[in-house]
Structure 1
Amino acid sequence: MTPALPAALAGLGFGLSLIVAIGAQNAFVLRQGLRGEHVGPVVAVCAISDLVLIMAGVAGAGTLVSAVPWLLTVIRYAGAAFLFAYGLLAARRALRGGALITDPSGAATALGVTLATVLALTWLNPHVYLDTVVLLGSISGTHGDQRWWFAAGAGLASILWFTALGYGARLLRPVFARPAAWRVLDGFIAAVMFTLAVSLVLSA
């Protein structure tokens, strides 16, 4: 076994441990997958963003992030405000009743708006810098010359996860053929957004 393989497998496992969790970004990707709306671009933005952050962390950007604490503070409050606003939209959908996947009244959101939303959910999350840039970057250093293989494994984890979440969501479409299911999903998304927004403010 070459030294690169254990490092890549370690990166794959660690990368999955960071992203396979209920969060604002995953909730958004799931909803887009269920609606079959701009899934490819959303998955691409999430995966590419992770790859950029992973490479930055392995390259040593974690030191810069740690040295500029005020930047994380700005991102923290901006992210909290955005999450709260998005949570309000999800709560309104839950109260009014979510549109069925095949319901023409559930008009598709413009690609630009969708991409702006997923970019905000990704880059206005201070934890992404602490986890992906600082933590993952620090752990990659323990692999010495194989740290870029560790990064490759972590990057593969992101690609596999977001692709599976976005395109695999279609398997749940029979469940979401009922309006009540959309109400539950949007209520859950609202709760996640509100919880994350409050946690960001309280952790400041």
Structure 2
Amino acid sequence: MFNVDRKSLWKSNRVYKELQKTCSSYSSLISVIVASLAAFLFVLIWGIAFRNRWRLRYMYYMVKNKYQVQNKIEPDNDSQYEYDAFVSYDNNDRFFVHDKLLPCLEPEAWLKLCIQKRDFLPGNDIAGNITSAIHNSRKVIIVMSHNYLDSYWCMFEYNMAKMESIYSRNKENILFLVFLEQMSPKRFTNDGFRVSSIQLLHRISKR
């Protein structure tokens, strides 16, 4: 009787060790699968967020500025705009803007322009001022130069203007480009510009 019990105990111990080994291998496999799924989901979410980063930023600042993106602006309704155009330019090109562009468009063409140095609200963060200025302007004039393409905030203004056009203006083209210098088309491709979005400046005149 004692020998039978001892043999049974030995078999039970062996079975236990086999089960423990098997379960351990399954636990490792499950851990690897869970970690792989978590990594895949992280990469997927990050990729979607990166692809839509400008849209997400635009939505964030619209909510922050208490605008309702769902209530889209009608393209022909100019009375709701505070400015005829927001002028987006790099600080290194400010002399052209202040000495040539503004005197040409404001006194002569009777346009009300919004520029950072003069019209941004003090105390507000720069991103909020930019999105607010674009949302309250009928058009956006971009003073294009190599300095512009190298500036983070200039590219921020350009992309916010694109998002405004898509999500609040029924894809109306609101961008007007003024070139200060000769520029390679490759730069526009690398920086995400669409050549088809370029408009002539003289079309900004009031209706």
* TM > 0.5 fold call: no
Higher relative helix content: 1
Q: TM-score range by the shorter chain?
A: under 0.3
Higher relative strand content: 2
TM norm structure 2 = 0.27
TM norm structure 1 = 0.28
